[in-house]
Amino acid sequence: MLKNDLLLKALRGEQVSRPPVWMMRQAGRYLPDYIKLREQYDFFTRVQTPELATAITLQPVDQVGVDAAIIFSDILVIPQAMGLEVTLEEGKGPFLPHTIKTQADIDALITTSAEESLHYVMSALQLTKKELNGRVPLIGFAGAPWTILCYMVEGKGSKTWDKAKQFAYTQPLLAHLLLQKITSITIAYLKAQVKAGADTVQVFDSWAGSLSPADFKTFAQPYLFQIADALKDDAPVILFPKGSWYALKDISNSSAAGVGIDWCVSPQMARTFTQNKITIQGNFDPAKLLAPVPEIKKAVKEMIDAFGTQRYIANLGHGITPNVPVDHAKAFVEAVKEYGA
Amino acid sequence: MLKNDLLLKALRGEQVSRPPVWMMRQAGRYLPDYIKLREQYDFFTRVQTPELATAITLQPVDQVGVDAAIIFSDILVIPQAMGLEVTLEEGKGPFLPHTIKTQADIDALITTSAEESLHYVMSALQLTKKELNGRVPLIGFAGAPWTILCYMVEGKGSKTWDKAKQFAYTQPLLAHLLLQKITSITIAYLKAQVKAGADTVQVFDSWAGSLSPADFKTFAQPYLFQIADALKDDAPVILFPKGSWYALKDISNSSAAGVGIDWCVSPQMARTFTQNKITIQGNFDPAKLLAPVPEIKKAVKEMIDAFGTQRYIANLGHGITPNVPVDHAKAFVEAVKEYGA
């Protein structure tokens, strides 16, 4: 049914003519049409209105030419589905006024009915799928349990996540109870996304890299792997534990089909750690999209030379930043498409 | 002359009875006596008044029992010495109102007389050395050229340092010109610190980890190595490019005597990368100082078990945070001192 299934082929380890390309946060603040919608509707209105979420999801497919759409949403819909209030002030980041401190706080969390309470995500996926009409695959996503715990405990962003870590170090049983609750609802949520039309799902562990290898193995990895195991017969799963290069070997032996890496791992190191057992996604430094276009194109070519064209998805190593000119984003995508031509 | 020269022995690769221990930011906001001085004198008054800097430097030696003193100062005294205004609002981080944008901005920088303009640092070192009376070694320090460039170009802290990177990617010749100017004055500054009494010097590349391995090799490593080469006959040099685990092998083959690592590198990986050719310093997660004291002691023991007692300096992987109870900092230091006893 898909006219362009490069992404899915790459995730299945099948031969491709060139690597697929998409960009984390490709539907976002660097696009003038997104900014227009932002001026009219606040963040969670955009997330919760399927027509708006679909329009935003399609913008980079139409305007930048990426090989996949990723549904416009937010990882913090899960804390919302679990009963926690989440607000977002534009440019200031998320805020959760009621943080998790005790067993009673965890007991009070709702763990059923993600499909029901997050129905607007499924509607947006269905609508986007229809509008895409098979042009490119559609990616669903969720936050990883450790990253969601970070926000639930801290209530906002942090440089060090030391409150979240303090919670994990001083009350490990409670931390695991919370991580398991998040994991269970996330599995149900991702399965519902696949049912609604997602061709693949990505799990964002944005703050995994704040953990030591030993703590990652304790508080992050088991839950990531539980999700990958649970979804493996539904759709290919991409894990993106940002900064956790040290876990690449273990992840390459998991049920995940793909793993995201940032630009701090060289392609050679990433291939050495993973032994070609998993598809690698990444790892262009978004700041390099601020370089002149010829420099971007040269750097993309070098990146693909180093990763190789197979079992590889060209992407950034983190979300695209609002200050990137649209032409530079296009140059990134074009350079991948032109590779080898 | 030194009664406790464990740190210097470890840096020279000599046999020690136990690893030396100190903590980055050990003179700082977690200590009640520091907070008292902060209430009376603003930040740069504390830095620029030798009696205050000395009193602050000695606090953790007297109160926490560390095996080394590190002079109380700031990496941004170098931009000040080069003629740039730097202000610091308590809890808000540094601010440089006039940032570097053009060749003219770089040409206008002062590159002579670090010893003269930063005379208060040398006075503080001399006074501290006298007050220490040989109890423990005294550490001098400076910021690494890449990290100083980051502040000079951005004017303040950043999550992504994309303005600094944009400067480097779009105007590489200017970036190298600036990095070389910073390097030259930093070498003179560190030599003056050694002359004034520093037994060893540490170079903090706090934002090195924002760079890809290739960009680190272009914009950070050559200048770090220039400093290590220039100082090698003066005092042992410790390089701390936070987050740049990928550079450990190259650094172990440089003129540096020691290398700092954060908690995202396991001791085993760090030893594998460096092949015991350099002394490793680190790598306790400061957030783990918020765990209960028995957990801290257990984790310290495991850390030393993993690194081994030789060619190793017990430290944190980043600065101690203000919310750490003094007793927990003491427990960290005591656990190292008790190791094997």
Domains of chain B (ranges; CATH) run 6-338 (3.20.20.210)
Residue A1's pLDDT band (cuts 50, 70, 90): confident
Q: What is the pLDDT of residues A136-179, one digit of tens each?
A: 999 999 999 999 999 999 999 999 999 999 999 999 999 999 99
pLDDT of B91 strictly over 80 = no
Residue B112: the pLDDT is: 84
- Comparing B112 with B257, the larger pLDDT belongs to B257
Q: How far is the C-alpha of A230 from the C-alpha of A233, rounded, in Å?
A: 8
Residues above pLDDT 90, as percent of chain B:
96
Kind and range of the H or E run holding A195: helix A172-195
Residue B264: the pLDDT is: 97
Q: How far is CA B155 from CA A263, A319, B164, B173, B175, in A?
A: 24, 23, 10, 20, 15
Contact of A243 with chain B, judged by CB distance below 8 Å, is answered with yes
Do the Cβ atoms of A288 and B165 come within 8 Å?
yes
Residue A215's pLDDT band (cuts 50, 70, 90): very high
Please tell me which of the candidates B169, B246, B266 has its beta carbon nearest to residue A213. B266
Tell the burial category of B54 from Cβ atoms under 10 Å away from its Cβ (0-12, 13-18, 19+): buried
Residue A92: the pLDDT is: 82
Contacts of A124 (CB under 8 A, 6+ apart): A50, A53, A54, A57, A71, A72, A73
Question: For B319, which DSSP code?
Answer: P
Least-confidence region, from A87-96, B72-81, B204-213: A87-96
Do the Cβ atoms of A263 and B212 come within 8 Å?
yes
Tell me if the pTM is above 0.80.
yes
Backbone angles phi, psi at B188, to 5 degrees: -60, -40
Q: How far is CA B249 from the centre of its chain?
A: 20
Number of residues in chain A:
341
B270 → chain A, closest CA residue: A246
Query: Can you say whether the dihedral through the CA atoms of A45, A47, A48, A53 is positive or negative?
Result: positive
pLDDT of B97 strictly over 90 = yes
Nearest CA-CA distance, residue B318 and chain A, Å: 10
Q: How far is the C-alpha of A26 from the C-alpha of A68, rounded, in Å?
A: 10
Contact of B218 with chain A, judged by CB distance below 8 Å, is answered with no
Kind and range of the H or E run holding B32: helix B32-40
Tell the burial category of A54 from Cβ atoms under 10 Å away from its Cβ (0-12, 13-18, 19+): buried
Contact predicate A258/A279, CB 8 Å: yes
Query: What is the Cα Rg of chain A in Å?
Result: 19
Q: How far is the C-alpha of A148 from the C-alpha of A106, rounded, in Å?
A: 13
Please tell me which of the candidates B170, B213, B266 has its beta carbon nearest to residue A266. B213
Q: How far is the C-alpha of B214 from the C-alpha of A303, rounded, in Å?
A: 11
Residue B92: the pLDDT is: 82
Please tell me which of the candidates B161, B170, B321 has its beta carbon nearest to residue A160. B321
Residue B89: the pLDDT is: 80
pLDDT of A281 strictly over 90 = yes
Least-confidence region, from A251-260, B9-18, B42-51, B84-93: B84-93
Q: How many helices (H) and strands (E) does chain A have?
A: 17, 9
Q: What is the pLDDT of residues B28-77, one digit of tens each?
A: 999 999 999 999 999 999 999 999 999 999 999 999 999 999 999 999 99
Q: What is the mean pLDDT of residues B97-106?
A: 98
Please tell me which of the candidates B169, B265, B323 has its beta carbon nearest to residue A295. B169
Nearest CA-CA distance, residue A212 and chain B, Å: 5
Contact of A287 with chain B, judged by CB distance below 8 Å, is answered with yes
Q: What is the mean pLDDT of chain B?
A: 97
Q: What is the pLDDT of residues A288-317, one digit of tens each?
A: 999 999 999 999 999 999 999 999 999 999
A165 → chain B, closest CA residue: B287
Residue A309: the pLDDT is: 98
Q: How far is the C-alpha of A204 from the C-alpha of B236, rounded, in Å?
A: 42
B172 → chain A, closest CA residue: A291
Q: What is the mean pLDDT of chain A?
A: 97
Q: Which residues of B touch A320 (CB under 8 A)?
A: none
Residue B150: the pLDDT is: 98
Residue (of B199, B202, B278) closest to B13 by Cα position = B278
Do the Cβ atoms of B209 and A166 come within 8 Å?
no
Residue A115's pLDDT band (cuts 50, 70, 90): confident
Residues above pLDDT 70, as percent of chain B:
100
